[in-house]
């Protein structure tokens, strides 16, 4: 999956952006500077002064247009603007799929498994915001637990994260995607495409 990120504002935002990009790369995602080539676009916003707010809004709108016209399937907005104006942004810019506040804010994001029953990723801010218990039907249980705590969980359906590798069929699905992840490269290096073809 290709991820594009636009970082706005202060040096702290730049550090947060670098951390996000590092985690994405570590998870096997490809980074791109070309919004038209991105599967997921992230805008790390600033709301310190009016000019920064306006720049953040203009950038979000520009990336929302990319989502409508291009390859992008998910638009994620992070940072101070997302934290302060979550409800307004959600209402005014429906192209936004997830809003995550600045580090130190409160928020929760879940990525479901391909089946929709399990939870394959959870992002909590702060990290101990709520207890997590994985295994099916953890996805619905996590959503319910978050709402019972007065939280509005964001849901990101990310195919790369959503795919569980439990069976030979799962391996075939991963390899069939032509994925550029480290996992797919390792499976190819180990000769799995040929080994799986003998099963047919």
Helix (H, G, I), strand (E, B) or coil at 16: helix
Determine which of 6-10, 139-143, 166-170 has the lowest per-residue pLDDT on average: 166-170
3-state SS of 17-55? Answer: HHHHHHHHHHCCCEECCCHHHCCEEEEEECCCCHHHHHH
Determine which of 15-19, 21-25, 57-61, 157-161 has the lowest per-residue pLDDT on average: 157-161
1-103 classified as CATH 3.40.50.10540: no
Say what the pLDDT of residue 156 is.
73
Say what the pLDDT of residue 6 is.
92
The angle that helices 182-189 and 168-176 make with each other, rounded to 10 degrees, is 110
**pTM score, whole prediction:** 0.55
Domain boundaries, the chain: 1-103, 106-163, 165-197
């Amino acid at each position: 999956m290709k991820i594009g990120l636009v970082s706005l504002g202060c040096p702290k935002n730049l550090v947060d952006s670098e951390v996000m990009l590092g985690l994405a790369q570590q998870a096997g995602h490809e980074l791109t500077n070309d919004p038209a080539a991105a599967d997921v676009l992230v805008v790390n916003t600033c709301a310190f002064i009016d000019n920064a707010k306006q720049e953040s809004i203009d950038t979000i709108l520009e990336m929302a247009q990319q989502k409508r016209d291009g390859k992008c399937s998910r638009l994620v907005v992070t940072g101070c603007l997302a934290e302060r104006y979550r409800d307004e942004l959600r209402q005014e810019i429906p192209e936004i799929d997830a809003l995550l506040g600045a580090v130190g804010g409160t928020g929760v994001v879940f990525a479901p498994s391909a089946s929709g029953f399990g939870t394959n990723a959870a992002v909590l801010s702060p990290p101990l915001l709520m207890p997590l218990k994985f295994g099916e039907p953890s996805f619905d249980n996590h959503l319910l637990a978050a709402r019972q705590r007065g939280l509005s969980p964001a849901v990101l359906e990310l195919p790369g994260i959503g795919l569980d590798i439990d069976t030979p069929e799962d391996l075939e699905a991963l390899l069939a995607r032509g994925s550029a992840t480290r996992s797919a490269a390792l499976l190819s290096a180990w000769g799995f495409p040929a080994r799986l073809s003998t099963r047919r």
